Amino acid sequence: MAEATNGYKSGSTLEKILRAGKFAATAELGPPKNADAEVIRKKAAQLKGIADGVNITDNQTAIVRMSSIAAATLSVQNGVEPIMQMTCRDRNRLAMQADMLGAYALGIRNLLCLSGDHQQFGNHPMAKNVYDMDSMTLIRMVKDLRDGNKFQGGEEIKGTNPRFFIGGAENPFADPFEFRPYRLAKKVQAGVDFIQTQLIYNVPKFREFMKRVVDLGLHEKVYILAGVGPIKTAGAAKYMRDQVPGMEVLDEYVQRMEGAGKGIEDKKEKAAAAREEGIKICVELIQQMRETPGVAGVHIMAIEWEEAVKPILERAGLLPRPVVE
């Protein structure tokens, strides 16, 4: 039985902000590699009232962390709306649906569906992977639970069904480039409500992607949040450019990061200058995203640097956040 949600699919803040046509801003909250709830509380305090929702990653890069369902619940308790991530790497459809029932019961309303990084990258490369489903069929399953009132296996849900605002990811920089907009179209068809993109450090290429997305009319069917993030060091910029599969970083950003802090002797000051440049680049990127047709918001990935989100949004003119209902 569907709960009353006043015409909203899930009633989450993120959904309301997007529906109201406001430019959304989401952030990330990475769960700790231990069982300390205090870590979540601290990070949540830095993001409360700043971001419309925070992604709670699910064993990101295949490294064991506090479960996204537990961390998302702690986030709810600390007044920050979670966007719970779920990957297909670690759970089969039974476990995923069980977690969805639990997550909804615990007050979680946004769910981001991912295939997940291969376990080879993480701290348990010897693990068996699951991949019972993929991100596409996961999206469809969440939609069926919500709108079809049935489990993936076909059985009807008696009683409260989980009603999530359904997220997905898209990487405009992964190959083959010409197929990416079509893959997004498939996710829309599967039932995705919003999309967060991979980190963008190549605006012309992203705009080319968005042009095709707009030509296909997809921006009217799905909210697209452009992925941006502050770079901390020149080394990080180079690493993302050269080592991370499916990431593109234009040389100009690497050069700017290298140039920041040039001539400064003091190590601390030098690092601070680089961080400042990273934040500056991020603010510029947000501005460029706001000017890109079809973009409904930004997703700020300041991984293990949550305190950077506030100054970034402040300088981008996106604070205070709109209040809905």
Residues that bind other proteins (CB under 8 A): 88-89, 93, 115-118, 120-121, 129, 131-137, 140-141, 152, 169-171, 174-176, 178-179, 182-183, 185-186, 189-190, 198, 245-246
- CB 94 → other proteins: shortest distance, Å? 12
- CB 192 → other proteins: shortest distance, Å? 12
Which residues face 167 on adjacent strands? 112, 194
> For residues 233 and 264, what is the distance between their CA atoms, to the nearest angstrom?
14
Which tokens go with 43? Answer: 């990070």
- CB 179 → other proteins: shortest distance, Å? 5
Residue closer to other proteins by CB (options 183, 310) is 183
- CB 224 → other proteins: shortest distance, Å? 15
Residue closer to other proteins by CB (options 174, 264) is 174
Residue closer to other proteins by CB (options 114, 318) is 114
Residue closer to other proteins by CB (options 106, 303) is 303
- CB 246 → other proteins: shortest distance, Å? 5
Residue closer to other proteins by CB (options 183, 280) is 183
- CB 52 → other proteins: shortest distance, Å? 23
Residue closer to other proteins by CB (options 182, 269) is 182
